Chains A and B, each alone.
Chain A
Amino acid sequence: QKEVEQDPGPLSVPEGAIVSLNCTYSNSAFQYFMWYRQYSRKGPELLMYTYSSGNKEDGRFTAQVDKSSKYISLFIRDSQPSDSATYLCAMGKGGSYIPTFGRGTSLIVHP
């Protein structure tokens, strides 16, 4: 079992839908959690960063961390075709500079 599990998709939704992207993990020592967006033929771009449990909101994006369930989520409200990309979760132990990545979920938002 990989330390970080992420459904590869693709996840296809209509424009305007609320999107939920998720990762589960097995290492209870993970303390920081990140979401990256990667457009086709581009490098990953940091979207959201959270430390420990709780929610964080930034515009249409909300990141949620449930450490008791070892489960993290990224919600996208009012999804747009420009949100079509691969979303990677990543996480690491406090003080570690080597995050562990999920394999990414492909999201398609169709007009």
Chain B
Amino acid sequence: NAGVTQTPKFQVLKTGQSMTLQCAQDMNHNSMYWYRQDPGMGLRLIYYSASEGTTDKGEVPNGYNVSRLNKREFSLRLESAAPSQTSVYFCASMGVSGTSGNTDTQYFGPGTRLTVL
């Protein structure tokens, strides 16, 4: 059971380039999320997907698109990268664990460190 996995771990882009961040979970969770984390700003929600086939904007969606490919996978795309998108990106899924008992809670991937020059 790998939990939430993300690829790549690191990426450097030039302004205007595009890329897709991949995320997969093997816990059979319905909900998946993309966050960015910047120093002093905490975790900010970019997009989320409550279930397969649905996506919704979070707090900071501008400049990003997402695809919920199937129940396991949720990708984040930067169509034209900007220096302001330099950040650490975390994917998460929500479901039940031993720690939370029978209640849904979030599990995070290891993150992707993105630098846009």
Name A's B-contacting residues (CB within 8 A): 8, 32, 34, 36, 41-49, 51, 88, 90, 97-99, 101-104
Q: How far is the CB of A37 from chain B (nearest CB, A)?
A: 11
- Checking B40, B48, B97, B104 against A8 with a beta-carbon cut-off of 8 angstroms, the contacting residue is B40
Count A-B contacts at CB 8 Å.
54
Is the CB of B90 closer than 8 A to any CB of chain A?
yes
Is the CB–CB distance between B40 and A103 below 8 Å? yes
Query: Quick one: given A44-B108, A103-B41, are A97 and B99 in contact (CB under 8 Å)?
Result: no
Is the CB–CB distance between B103 and A43 below 8 Å? no
- Checking A42, A48, A88, A90 against B111 with a beta-carbon cut-off of 8 angstroms, the contacting residue is A42
Query: Quick one: given A8-B40, A102-B42, are A46 and B101 in contact (CB under 8 Å)?
Result: no
Q: How far is the CB of A18 from chain B (nearest CB, A)?
A: 22
